[in-house]
Amino acid sequence: MTATATATATTLKTVIFLGSARNVSPPWGGDARLGDRVIEWVKSSLSARASSLGDDVIKHDVSVVDPIDVFGNGGGLSHSGAEMRCPTFFASDSSLPESTKALRDVIKGADCYLIVSPEYNHTIPPALSSVMGHFGGSNYKCKPAGIVTYSPGPFAGMRAAMAIQIMCHELGCLPVSKLCGLPGPSDLLESNGKPKDPDHRMLKQLPELLDQLEWMAMAMKSQR
């Protein structure tokens, strides 16, 4: 008799860090936060994705860490602020607000990370480095990260992506080699994240990034 392989459903806990806390439109017009289009596209891509590794069918349980919420009233890091007055690893567990511990648990419980970010002054936005830097490397170690950057200009945030790679290495969430960079997201995506042209070549970067991210996440999950 020949054994029949049975597919196993595996859900990866995927945390998305949004890099921008901007809430005002630029003087020349446009979105208050261009990244809202991008993150909606990323979320819908994860939701619609059907991929497999060997006998495993991969799904994603997505949590979004948004600096506007995190640093806002009652947010997980509102007590410390974006200037990082109190890194979590400098405080005793009993002194941390419950919202901070809940955010830490989401980050620590992740199997992989996606970072969706613009570039500010050609480098990492301060909101992103502050949110991620509030938590020590023990929360991130031995997990992979994927980097998605965007820009209204033609360079698609790639200069920030280079700096984000280094930050991820130092935190321990190793970035996969494939990058996704979107030049002019308002030309590629509707305000709700729906692609204006689903076959546009720039949108084909994300599935390849996710292939690498899932492979690494499954391997690291097994070894952890």
Span 52-72, pLDDT tens digits? 998 899 999 999 999 999 999
Residue closest to 65 by CA, chosen among 108, 124, 31: 108
Say which CATH topology domain 8-223 has: Rossmann fold (3.40.50)
pLDDT at 2 over 50: no
Average pLDDT over residues 34-50: 96
DSSP 8-state code for residue 214? H
Tell me the pLDDT band of 50, cut-offs 50, 70 and 90: confident
pLDDT, position 28: 87
Residue 94 bridge partners (DSSP) = none
Cross-strand partners of 146: 114
Which tens digits make up the pLDDT trace of 146-155? 999 999 999 9
Chain centroid to Cα 136, Å, comes to 17
User: Model-level pTM?
Assistant: 0.94
Burial of 217 (C-beta count, 10 Å sphere; 0-12/13-18/19+): buried
Query: In sequence order, what are the residues at sequence separation of 6 or more whose Cβ sits closer than 8 angstroms to the Cβ of residue 86?
Result: 79, 80
Residue whose C-alpha is closest to residue 41's, from 157, 196, 145: 196
Q: Taking 80 as the threshold, does the pLDDT of residue 6 lie above it?
A: no
pLDDT one-digit tens code per residue, 174-210:
999 999 999 999 999 999 999 999 999 999 999 999 9
How much of the chain, in percent, has pLDDT values that exceed 70?
98
Q: How far apart are the first and last CA of the chain?
A: 35
Nearest in space to 98 (alpha carbons), one of 72, 78, 112, 127: 78
- Domain layout of the chain by residue ranges: 8-223
What three-state secondary structure class fits 143? Answer: strand
